[in-house]
Amino acid sequence: QKEVEQDPGPLSVPEGAIVSLNCTYSNSAFQYFMWYRQYSRKGPELLMYTYSSGNKEDGRFTAQVDKSSKYISLFIRDSQPSDSATYLCAMSAIGNTGKLIFGQGTTLQVKP
């Protein structure tokens, strides 16, 4: 069993839809939770960062962490064609090496 599981999709939605991306994990030591976005032929870039449990909102994006269920989500409201990308969840335990464990990535296509 992988430490972090993410549905690879692909996920195709119409413009304006609400998108829900999810990851589950098995390591209860994870405290840092991130979402990266990767456009085609580019490196990943950090989109959202959450420490421990709770919600975080940034514009059309909301990240949720439920540590009791070992489940994290990224919601995209009013999705746009420019949101078409691969979304990777990443997690880390407390420690000073900064090592991240990534999910497999979900490919999202938003159709105009």
Task: Note the residues at the interface with another protein (CB under 8 A).
Answer: 6, 8, 32, 34, 36, 41-46, 49, 88, 92, 96-100, 102-105
User: DSSP characters for 19-78?
Assistant: EEEEEEE--TTEEEEEEEEE-TTS--EEEEEEESSEEEEETTEEEEEETTTTEEEEEESS
Q: Provide the CA 64 distance to its chain's centre, in angstroms.
A: 9
Rounded Cα gap, residues 21 and 72, in angstroms: 8
